Chain A
């Protein structure tokens, strides 16, 4: 599974970092999300799914492949 981040949509809420700190971080200059892991292992997927669900800006997607 691959994580996609739609950066322009991100409102820097930090929700994804809270839900899945192994996969998401925030840029220093403006708090916009950055991906640490594009293809996270199975053990991290629950956290990523939570991030997808709570991202207020619908900026994160989890896709096949």
Chain B
């Protein structure tokens, strides 16, 4: 037995000591470092790859702090994503009787059976074919912005419309309804929301998608939702299952990318030398590398992937018992100094492709080719077309989404 030399007292039971020191999760970021993970999370990473944390309900799941253990566990078939299992380390209380959100909260084989119904439109070549259409959306929004009031809120004028327009087009959802689905999405991704309210937002969105599916059944079009109609007819997917899948894609398709655009712009404005690299290049390789580095650096899907162990799992000298919760925060895995040298430096030229910002394992982001393409178009266009873009307020006045399961800024006042 090792003894680190402090407590030689006979009562010191290491298990008790450990329980007493279990920190609360999620942890707070330092006010002065809005782009960095919470300092307490780094402390845990320094202590070891597998730690324990305490959640809102008093439960004490495992916290996985290092990159290699994060990938190993997310890639392990013995972990579950089913949020309704007893002991699942949920972000917030779940209303009893509510289900998850389509295949993101299912396990294989059902997860992969459903996921494969919608993978085709997200294949690299299919997504690349959309690039000119996305470029036009981005150019048109910039034209409108330049013709409008200065300063303006970049979130409202640009960051949110880009991915919303793109995902609406791909799914076949009318963009005119964006106020409705954006406001309900926001409820779903805010942490401290009453379970009833969250359930209501989920119900409104599912009903809305169900109605849209009805229209697609009557008048099929060339879009992803219409592509689900034959699956409903053959019984491969229930109509409700299709509606939930629609909600997942709509939600995941705009909230994430929007935050990457706004928070990414803020990070670049705070790192003018890096912004200059993007403004002055027309090398698609550098743009692509910048997107990977910003994904690694920003970690907008913070607060951890959540899993439950289905069997005992031995890892790095610890045993995760069947039934124990597992939390895997990419905001710390992507800052692991063993994998990324000088991890807190934003360096658009580094090779950051191995980041875990899209997760890892069978649930790794379905929309990643689309997100990458949208971000490549945005980052290679916005700062070149508006070279004088600047923050119209102080960094300390920017409202950050500390309370969201997707990190970012609520507002980004910019001028030029």
Q: A54-B354, A57-B362 are in contact. Are A12 and B75 (CB under 8 A)?
A: no
Question: Taking CB as reference atom, which chain B residue is nearest A18?
Answer: B124
Cβ of A1 under 8 Å from chain B: no
Cβ of B123 under 8 Å from chain A: yes
Name the residue among B120, B124, B125, B366 with the largest chain A CB count within 10 angstroms: B124
- B117-135 contacts to A, CB under 8 A, are 119-120, 122-126
Cβ of B144 under 8 Å from chain A: no
Interface string of B121-159 (1 = CB under 8 A from A): 011111000000000000000000000000000000000
- A9-65 contacts to B, CB under 8 A, are 11-15, 17-19, 25-26, 28-32, 50, 53-54, 56-58
CA distance A17 to B353 in the complex (A): 13
Q: Is the contact region of chain B dominated by helix, strand, or loop, or is it mixed?
A: loop
Cβ of B120 and Cβ of A29 under 8 Å apart? yes
Q: A12-B116, A13-B364, A53-B354 are in contact. Are A58 and B75 (CB under 8 A)?
A: yes
**Which single member of A15, A19, A25, A30 contacts B116 (CB below 8 Å)?**
A30
Chain B residues near A58 (CB, 8 Å)?
Answer: 75
Closest Cβ of chain B: how far from A48's Cβ, in Å? 14
Closest Cβ of chain B: how far from A29's Cβ, in Å? 6
Cβ of A50 and Cβ of B353 under 8 Å apart? yes
Interface string of B6-17 (1 = CB under 8 A from A): 000000000000
Chain B residues near A12 (CB, 8 Å)?
Answer: 115-116, 119, 122-123, 366
- B29-79 contacts to A, CB under 8 A, are 74-75
Chain A: number of interface residues, binned into ranges: 20 to 34
Name the residue among B112, B123, B354 with the largest chain A CB count within 10 angstroms: B123
Cβ of B359 and Cβ of A56 under 8 Å apart? yes
Closest Cβ of chain B: how far from A10's Cβ, in Å? 9
Question: Taking CB as reference atom, which chain A residue is nearest B359?
Answer: A56
Chain A residues near B361 (CB, 8 Å)?
Answer: 56-57
Closest Cβ of chain B: how far from A54's Cβ, in Å? 6
Question: Taking CB as reference atom, which chain B residue is nearest A33?
Answer: B123
- B92-122 contacts to A, CB under 8 A, are 112, 115-116, 119-120, 122
Chain B: number of interface residues, binned into ranges: 20 to 34
CA distance A54 to B354 in the complex (A): 6
- B254-304 contacts to A, CB under 8 A, are none
Chain A residues near B353 (CB, 8 Å)?
Answer: 18-19, 50, 54
Chain A residues near B181 (CB, 8 Å)?
Answer: none
Cβ of A11 and Cβ of B112 under 8 Å apart? yes
Cβ of B75 and Cβ of A57 under 8 Å apart? yes
Chain A residues near B119 (CB, 8 Å)?
Answer: 11-12, 30-32
- B206-226 contacts to A, CB under 8 A, are none
Closest Cβ of chain A: how far from B260's Cβ, in Å? 17
Cβ of A31 and Cβ of B120 under 8 Å apart? yes
Cβ of B124 and Cβ of A14 under 8 Å apart? yes
Closest 5 CB pairs of A and B: A56-B364, A31-B119, A12-B119, A31-B123, A26-B123
Q: List 23 A-B contacts (CB under 8 A).
A: A11-B364, A12-B115, A12-B122, A13-B358, A13-B368, A14-B122, A14-B123, A14-B368, A14-B369, A17-B123, A17-B125, A18-B353, A26-B123, A28-B120, A30-B120, A31-B120, A31-B126, A32-B116, A54-B353, A56-B75, A56-B358, A56-B360, A57-B75
Further 16 A-B residue pairs, CB within 8 A, beyond A26-B123, A30-B120, A56-B361: A11-B115, A12-B115, A12-B123, A14-B369, A15-B364, A30-B116, A31-B116, A31-B119, A31-B123, A50-B353, A53-B354, A56-B358, A56-B359, A56-B364, A57-B75, A57-B361
